[in-house]
Structure 1
Amino acid sequence: MDRLRNYDISFSGLKTGKHEFSFEIDKEFFQLFDTEQEFTDPKINVHVFLNKHTTFLEFEIKVKGTVELVCDITTDNFSYPIENEIGILVKFGEEYDDSEEDVITIPTNDHAFNVSQLIYEIVALSIPMKKISPNISDEDLKILEQFSPKEIEIEEEVDPRWEALKKLKDKN
């Protein structure tokens, strides 16, 4: 957890107004978390914009860079661009609470806010469910389409007994 302190934004000594912080993250950043990533070789720039108000903090976090993904079709590695942003309001209260979607409450006596988890989540949410290389050939796409599931329209004949029951119901 000590290395995550590098991502603390200390706000207690800052004047009211706008402030900017920058980070460069790579695989070492993601190794700080106990989860397996769906990507390798991340090279991501992070810009954190803080608008400090007297009673709350407004954060805007933007990430931009690339990661290596494995194509679901060809299993070839390819570089995938990452670009995403999130806005978070940080207010002060009794204890830490992140149950609201865009609002985080931190204890009143805190002097810094750690953005590492938010950076991690922004990058993780930028990874597509289907990882298809931009270098995939038209022939590969045709083969994929040929073996993809198709929608089949099935006309079901309604059992006449159901129709009779439906008529009885409609009378009531």
Structure 2
Amino acid sequence: MDKLRNYDISFSGLKIGKHEFRFEINKEFFQLFDTEQEFTNPKIDVEVFLNKHTTFLEFEVKVNGTVELVCDITNENFDYPVENQIGILVKFGEEYDDSEEDVITIPANDHAFNVAHLIYENVALSIPMKKISPNISDEDLAILEKFSPKEVEEENEEQEVDPRWEALKKLKDKN
């Protein structure tokens, strides 16, 4: 966790109320995680809003920038805009627990909360499953459509059944 220390937000000395933190993240940030990214060349601005209450913390993490993706169709690189936000409630308890979707419990004696994983998650959720370049041509789409699987219409509902299947079906019906 030491390598992510730059993303600790120390809340113990802050007054009750709203606070704002800013980060600029690039490929070095993503290299801190031991996972392979589906993108390259990230240039992302991060705003972290903290609303400190007496018994809990509210975090809102907004990411805005671009990443470079590889088009699934043309295999060309293109810039993809990344814009997303997530909110999380941090409460105090006995030990760390992130089993709830929007609530994280941290030990009551903690004085800081690390937002690196929230930033990482926020960017990862912004990446589409299908990566299609906005520069793809109509010709490329036509070729893709030509070779895409098509649904076969069955003209005859009573197609001839392989006799081996019929023999297996008879065995099944006996049991």
TM over 0.5: yes
Aligned to 2:157: 156
TM-score normalised according to structure 1 size:
0.89
Unaligned residue ranges in structure 1 (runs of 5+): 159-172
Q: Partner of 1:47 in structure 2? A: 47
Count of residue pairs brought into register by the alignment: 159
Pairing of 1:9-158 with structure 2 (within 5 A)? 9-154=9-154, 156-157=157-158
- 1:5 counterpart letter in structure 2: R
Unaligned runs of 5+ in 2: 160-175
Distance in 1 of aligned mates of 2:24 and 2:52: 23
Give a deviation string over 1:25-45, Cα, whole Å, max 9, x none: 000000000000000000000
Q: CA deviation at 1:157?
A: 4.2
**RMSD of equivalent CA atoms:** 1.4
- Of all paired residues, the percent bearing the same amino acid is 85
CA distance in 1, matches of 2:153, 2:114: 53
- Residue 170 of structure 1 is matched in structure 2 by none
Task: Report the equivalent of 1:4.
Answer: 4
SS in 2 for 1:126: coil
Displacement after TM superposition at 1:150 (Å): 1.9
Q: Distance in 1 between matches of 2:62 and 2:151?
A: 40
The alignment partner of 2:134 has SS state of coil
Structure 2 counterpart SS, 1:134:
coil
In the aligned structure 1, how far is the partner of 2:11 from the partner of 2:158?
69
TM normalised by structure 2 equals 0.87
Task: Note the C-alpha offset of 1:58.
Answer: 0.3
